[in-house]
Amino acid sequence: MSGLDLGVIGNGTIASLIDEQGRHVWTCWPRLDGDPIFHALLGGEGGFWSVESTRPATARRRYVGNTAILETELEDETGAVIRITDLAPRCRRFGRMFRPATLLRRIEPVQGRFPCTVRLRPSSRYGAEPMQTVALSNSLRLISGDQAIRLTTDMSVASIAEELPIVVHAPIHMILSGDTSVMESPAQVFRELYEETLFYWQEWSRYLSVPFEYQDVVLRAAITLKLCAFEETGGVVAALTTSIPEAPDSGRNWDYRFCWLRDTYFTVHALNRLGATRTMEDYLRYITTLVTLSEDGTLLPLYPILPGTTPDETEAPALEGYRGMGPVRVGNAAWFQRQHDVYGSVVMAAAQMFYDRRLPVQGDLELFQLLERLGEQAARLALEPDAGIWEYRGRERVHTHSALMCWVACARLAKIAGVLALPERGDYWRAHAARIRRAILEEAWDAERRTFVESFGGTDLDAALLLMHEVGFLAADDPRFVNTVAAIERELRRGNHVFRYKAPDDFGEPENAFTVCTFWFLDALAAIGRKDEARAIYEELISCRNSLGLLSEDVNPLTKELWGNIPQSYSMVGLIISGMRLSKTWEEAFWRDS
């Protein structure tokens, strides 16, 4: 049984992961990359917010329609039932989005008399310091150092402070927010924000261009991706958690609460395919800031969601880790690596600004010139060694994928120059793209095995080679691409799952499949005419989701257990992109299907 059967609520400022029993077990505060006030997912003393039955009870959960509002029903052995409703408010007020660092919770009776205990045990400094409780007339102040939060409720404050059992006779409302007084009644606040948040998510979802098939899968994935975006700056985190290991006791524990430029390209691409362009516009604001602050156009592989801070890597000793499998890392040392593929990722993300007439702000000469700074770096670094997409910590090579994405940067700039009627700049970037392309075809091709390899002059394979068709480098029916797909299938496929690579790295040989690579593989199969096989693999990946439709980073190909940080944006992207490609069209299924 997976310990990652979690739900997520959020609003573009904060997010919270909730377990099978309705406990908040991971909540960073006051933003997505903040100090977790609830951290029970990774151990430590306290670090949760629970509603615990005093008698043995079972739980069932669901999202309210196409929203980020989560309901948990607890039924005890006598048949008594309560419903717990959790949300983070998100709605339009005064002409702008209202998305405070606030969690709302309602406990209401459904059947019988349900005795339970509410336990609120937040901590600070990554579990090192429990928050002290100060009971007021209608609220609890929770204080640690210079940080304070407040729980406002119409429940007995003393019962929460002393963790005394109660019987739920009528709805109970709780508002966890910053250290400010709530003047209205908690019931009124909950009711108004619930209705407005419900309306927001249902309106947002109803305008998505979903495929005919797999609609529930795609809608849940889209909402989840939206929760990974920090709207204040436009940065998008790779996942909402840190240090959930990629495999048991592997030491592959990383902090993913940062904006990887390559990951975010895939996220905005997926949402764009659905017609949700606002995240892309916010992200372009974010990367424009990054590029402007970089004097020569040099980009790092990842950035904090609040630009200007540094994601130095440390450890949190007060937390023993997921299932005791530490260490718990805070920050990510990959930020200072050289990963040259980032230039192509950013240019690809920005390119839509020059083509999409729906956008209120179109790409112009000024943006193009800003992107050219990135192109110059791509042209200079394309054939230089780097740590690569998989962020090897112990070696550098001229990685094929990195060179490929540098080619993408130059090739896309040439196309954008055509849109802007700049023929000389188009010729300039086409020349750079042609030079890089020749090098890839000559140096990354293993003529004896008839496959591309993961680095120039190397022999190993990696799943990133599957993107050569995706980014337009090779046609799907090019024998070189078809042969590369076949080679990856032979060497990296295990059942219906694909490893990113199999060669040992700094931590030994990988043990679990990297989920996005399986999506890349089935997309490649569909492209080369093996669509039925691709659908079968997609159906298996759907079955690997947890009970609320979320995927993490990795999956054990034998047990199907989820591992790695969750929800992983890469994996949720795969559910969307592959689902849209494999589905029947609406015309095929709705109008022409007899």
pLDDT tens by residue, 392-413: 887 899 999 999 999 999 999 9
pLDDT, tens digit, for every residue of 101-146? 999 999 999 999 999 999 999 999 999 999 999 999 899 999 998 8
Tell whether the model's pLDDT for residue 2 goes beyond 70. no
Q: By percentage, how much of the chain surpasses pLDDT 90? A: 85
Which amino acid does the sequence have at 221?
A: A
Sorted by sequence, the CB contacts under 8 Å of residue 171 that are 6+ apart come out as 106, 107, 108, 109, 187
Q: Whose structure tokens read 């606002």?
A: 278
pLDDT, tens digit, for every residue of 165-192? 999 999 999 999 999 888 899 999 999 9
Q: Is 581 helix (H, G, I), strand (E, B) or coil?
A: helix
Please give the Cα distance from 298 to 294 (Å, whole number): 6
Q: Where is average pLDDT lowest: 90-94, 289-293, 554-558?
A: 289-293
pLDDT, tens digit, for every residue of 336-367? 889 999 999 999 999 988 998 888 888 999 99
pTM reported for the whole predicted model? 0.96
Q: Is 411 helix (H, G, I), strand (E, B) or coil?
A: helix
Are 33 and 565 in contact, with CB atoms under 8 Å apart?
no
Q: Where is average pLDDT lowest: 4-18, 101-115, 140-154, 474-488?
A: 140-154
Tell whether the model's pLDDT for residue 508 goes beyond 90. no
Sorted by sequence, the CB contacts under 8 Å of residue 220 that are 6+ apart come out as 63, 548, 549, 550
Helix axes 365-381, 342-351, angle to 10 degrees: 160
Dihedral, 532, 535, 539, 542 alpha carbons, nearest 10: 170
51 beta partners: 118
325 burial level (CB within 10 Å; 0-12, 13-18, 19+): buried
* Better pLDDT: 407 or 593: 407
Are 562 and 555 in contact, with CB atoms under 8 Å apart?
yes
The distance of Cα 106 from the centroid of its chain, to the nearest Å, equals 27
Confidence category of residue 81, pLDDT binned at 50, 70, 90: very high
* Better pLDDT: 111 or 292: 111
- The CB density around residue 85, as the number of other CB atoms within 10 Å, is 21
Closest by Cα among 192, 200, 188, 255 to 227: 200
pLDDT, position 590: 76
pLDDT, position 1: 35
Q: Is 93 helix (H, G, I), strand (E, B) or coil?
A: strand
- The mean predicted confidence, pLDDT, of the chain is 95
